Amino acid sequence: MAGEQPSYRFCGKVFTPEDVALIREVVETCSGVSRKELAHTISELLGWTRPGGSLKGRECREFLERLEAAGFLALPVKQKRRPVGSVTTVPHTARGEPGAALTGRVEVYAPVVLQMVQRPDERLLFRELVGRYHYLGYAVPFGAHIQYLISVSKPAPTVVGCLQFSSAAWRMRARDQWIGWDEATRARQLQRVVSNSRFLLVPWVHIHNLASATLGLALRRVVTDWQARYGIEPLLVETLVDPVRYSGGCYRAANWVVLGATAGRGRGDRAHQRHGASPKRLLVYPLTRDAVDRLRGRG
């Protein structure tokens, strides 16, 4: 990146040499501020925002760190953080303790309710349940996201799980080939794909058809909620299932399409060092009948 190149591309955005010169000037002149503050300042100067108007601060910070790694600029020293691979601390409260076993058919407990996580107490409960009972644990979601608490209504309102949608993976071969994307079209249209990045039903709940019923409800709900929050109409939802742990039957019961397996590298493996380390089964669900045509830029 330090050479005489016409432009730089990151997360679908092209940065001109003038943009990068501005970035370098801001970093050099704004001494004493944190990396987060720098990222938000630069995002605002460059107009790098989501359709809803919020700044792409997290993506900008990752781009700054990539420029630093290339020797193009020097960022402020990172604040001390947990070592890579350490477990995220989650609260342990009475609300997250195992409850009475719930069994039977979903109709007995209906209706199923999705409550969007907005208040601090809802965020803490979501974090605790996912952190304690999801095999991947809790992690701050990448980019845009919406989280829900899942509840049943009978015999009394009871939280039984969590669901999260977040920004889609930048590149997945099976998905991109299925849609028929080239690089430029993917860069323009990727924001219309969202990832179902967490789905948890707590382990003391064994309600028949609850998972597929929840997915059906969520797929109808996320279109409205995502558009209200980010100003973008999602057209496709993707998810990854670990075939060693799960069959993905609830997704197939909800009419998701199985596309194949991922390379198993993970979102952060840009150096291609973990190929095949943990391949996942990729499934997608078109949210409109013409989703694929519109993702190809034809609608």
Rounded to whole angstroms, what are the CA distances from 25 to 18, 163, 297?
11, 42, 37
pTM: 0.72
Structure confidence at residue 97 (pLDDT): 95
- Do 174 and 261 form a contact (C-beta atoms < 8 A)? yes
Ranges under pLDDT 70 in the chain:
1-6, 31, 79-88, 142, 264-277, 299
Structure confidence at residue 105 (pLDDT): 96
- Do 100 and 206 form a contact (C-beta atoms < 8 A)? no
Structure confidence at residue 264 (pLDDT): 65
Structure confidence at residue 212 (pLDDT): 94
Query: pLDDT tens across 256-276, in order?
Result: 999 988 876 554 444 433 344
E strands present in 26-178: 102-105, 112-116, 145-152, 158-167
Rounded CA-CA distance 226/68 in Å is 33
- Do 90 and 84 form a contact (C-beta atoms < 8 A)? no
Query: pLDDT tens across 167-178, in order?
Result: 898 889 999 999
Sequence-distant (6+) residues with CB within 8 A of 38 are 26, 27, 30, 61, 64, 75, 76
Structure confidence at residue 277 (pLDDT): 55
Structure confidence at residue 69 (pLDDT): 80
Structure confidence at residue 266 (pLDDT): 52
Structure confidence at residue 11 (pLDDT): 80
